[in-house]
Structure 1
Amino acid sequence: MDRNPEGRRAAVLTAVSSLLMAAVLLAAYYLLPLDSAFTAATVLALIGGGVVVVLLLGWHVRAILRSRRPGLRALAALATAVPLFLLLFAATYYLLERSAPDSFSESMSRTDALYFTMTVFSTVGFGDISPRSEPARLLTTGQMTANLLLLGVAVRFLAGAVQEGRRLQDR
């Protein structure tokens, strides 16, 4: 991080805007009416949301390359894309549980679905909630795969964009 006041101000603004974005996404998760059934449309919406995350990260890579502070810009990208990614899965798990109550080892509220999503994302393993039905296991396996892609590929692209952005600044 820069040691000058402008750099500190940019870091604070990035942190505040990232926290606000995460708060808006979390509020939307809890406030949106998630009362539809889990259907093929739900799976398509999840895939569409994944495409939005990829497009968002692509847009951020371009912004990183043009930024005066590519490292901060990359952090902002992760602070937007990761919560969106996680909340998409939490909403999907919640809808699955509402449509097929025996899909998981216990019934899940929105908070429980978010907890389960974070459990899968952080790879700490299953404790009190685990997938029981085949659709729940497939969805959980899909999230595990997407987690690896997000953590491996997306972070690598962002890190590469930061390096390239800094290289362009040095010119």
Structure 2
Amino acid sequence: MEATGRELGISGAELEALRCGALFHDIGKIGVPDRILNKPGPLDEGEWRVMKRHPEIGAQILAPLAFMAPSVPIVRHEHEHWDGSGYPDGLAGEEIPLGARVILVCDAYHAMTSDRPYRAALDRWEALRRLRVGAGRQFDPGVVDAFLEIFSVREHPSSVPGPVVA
């Protein structure tokens, strides 16, 4: 996450807020029952409602800690989508803190390339292709571009099939 932030020109206190936000972005999952977190199949509507509260819970946990203040909005908004379809507040585009947009992309890549109770890990190239496809909808296109740059994918765009990120 730090490398993606640096690629985007993030530095100083903003980079430190990104680092802390990255470390604690899922702390709110402490408020989600294990039976939901580890469910081997799709979540039902009620379970999904509980899961979608974890960013708010995380922000509430961190809010009393003064040194975490710059990271609280990052933690709260790390599941907001570029097109406004995310949660908890339905923010869109630049309304979403940049650190949260970075974490969303990096965390999505990690989730896609890790085994989950409900599916096997994707290979690196398929995960990168899915990030490209999601750019402009789920993900900030500029953040996806920076993430791909770190992988040097932009030098060989044919190696990752899918739409080109503008």
Q: Same fold (TM over 0.5)?
A: no
Which protein shows a greater Rg? 1
Task: Tell me which interval the TM-score lies in, with the shorter structure as reference length.
Answer: 0.3 to 0.5
More helix by share: 1
TM-score (norm 2): 0.35
User: Which structure's relative contact order is higher, taking Cα pairs within 8 Å and 6+ residues apart?
Assistant: 1
- Per the normalisation by structure 1, the TM-score is 0.34
